[in-house]
Structure 1
Amino acid sequence: MQTAADLMTKRFLRISTEHNLKEALALLLYGEQHKAETAAIAVIDEQGNLAGILTPECVVAGLSGLNAHLSQEALSEAVERNYSLTVGQVMKKGIPTATKETPLSELLLYMRTGKHECIPVIEESSVIGLVYVSDLFKQVAQLALTEEDQGIQM
């Protein structure tokens, strides 16, 4: 039985609740340029514990002020005004967590019951890995497809 320990990404981006959105944006762009997973970033509080998850969607919503009906000029002004918001103000909170022993079936349940880009894996109150949706997809695909199926050409 596959567990979170088997599926988790051990090298992942982290950011503090106190960083501002300009810094978060720079980290996301850095991650993209260096082929790091940027669907979700672990947000760590002052004690080093998981505080939440930051997604590109959180950053865009925070920078734009959640207003979809802005002109280009008004959007630029909103972005400049909102650069100083902190990660702690816009991150997703209350994200389910897993331990290294959490089975694949439970991880899939977490993903189905909420819109979660990843599930943080916690050990002694520290984040030791992230299980991304893409990790779960690859595992389920491996279970569902035979070697012959995996070579299908379209």
Structure 2
Amino acid sequence: MKARDIMVSDVPVITASATVAQAVQMLKDNYGDESFINAAPGLVVLSERGGLAGILTPLSVITALIGEAAMTAAEKVDESFFSKRCEAIKALAVSEIMERQAISVTEDARVADIAELFVKHRFQRLPVVKGNRVIGIIYRSRLLFAMTEKMTG
């Protein structure tokens, strides 16, 4: 079995120059309902040339929202904390908070090799590329189900 057999080809993408506010809206539009409550949402971030630049995950945005650890506990508890942080980061470029993920696989990558990458790097998703272009994404759950197909029939 190869990457092409288990990848999802309908990949939500955003450019590195898009704003964090645009990215959050795209995450809401693509993953905001209850059916995705246990999903591993994220956006593939493309460079201006269309190649893989990184991944934007909910954790990327949460990390940016929390900000510098220098905030006092009292400030973090204040109800206006996240409103202020939203204002502070909403116009940032996605490239400023994304995870730079240089690791991807080709559509011919073997499932065993993909599994090793997931375990070694603790990925939740892995882009699939053809040349310089992102053509799909493999989610950890799809990998698991492909590997255990014989277990469940």
What is the alpha-carbon distance in structure 2 between the residues aligned to residue 7 and residue 85 of structure 1?
34
Structure 2: give runs of 5+ residues left out of the alignment: none
Quote the Cα distance in structure 2 between the aligned partners of 1:38 and 1:108. Answer: 16
More deviation, 4-13/30-39:
30-39
TM superposition outliers: structure 1 runs of 4+ over 6 Å: 34-37
Give the corresponding residue for 1:150.
none
Paired with 1:103 and 1:4, the residues of 2 have a C-alpha distance of 6
Q: For 2:29 and 2:82, how far apart are their aligned partners in 1?
A: 23
Q: Which stretch shows the higher mean deviation, 89-98 or 99-108? A: 89-98
Aligned length: 145
Identity of aligned residues (%): 23
RMSD between aligned alpha carbons? 2.0
Contact persistence 1:40–1:56 (CA under 8 A): yes
| Secondary structure at 1:46 match in 2 | coil
- Residue equivalent to 1:25: 24
Q: Which runs of 5+ in 1 are unaligned?
A: 148-154
Q: Is the 8 A contact 2:41 2:58 kept in 1?
A: yes
Give the TM-score of the pair, scaled to structure 2.
0.85
For residues 130 and 48 of structure 1, the distance between their equivalents in structure 2, rounded to whole angstroms, comes to 15
Matching residue's letter, 1:91 = M
Cross-structure match for 1:152: none
Give the superposition deviation at 1:64.
2.9
Q: How does 1:54-73 map to 2 (within 5 A)?
A: 54-65=56-67, 67=69, 69=73, 70-71=76-77, 72-73=79-80
Pair 1:89-2:91 in alignment: no
Distance 1:82 1:126 in 2: 29
Is the CA contact 2:17–2:95 (under 8 Å) kept in the aligned structure 1? yes
Residues 95, 116 of structure 1: 8 Å contact kept: no
Give runs of aligned pairs for residues 4-153 of structure 1, distance below 5 A.
4-33=3-32, 39-65=41-67, 67=69, 69=73, 70-71=76-77, 72-143=79-150, 145-147=151-153
8 Å CA contact 1:117–1:132 kept in 2: the answer is: yes
**CA-CA distance at 1:78 after TM superposition:** 1.4
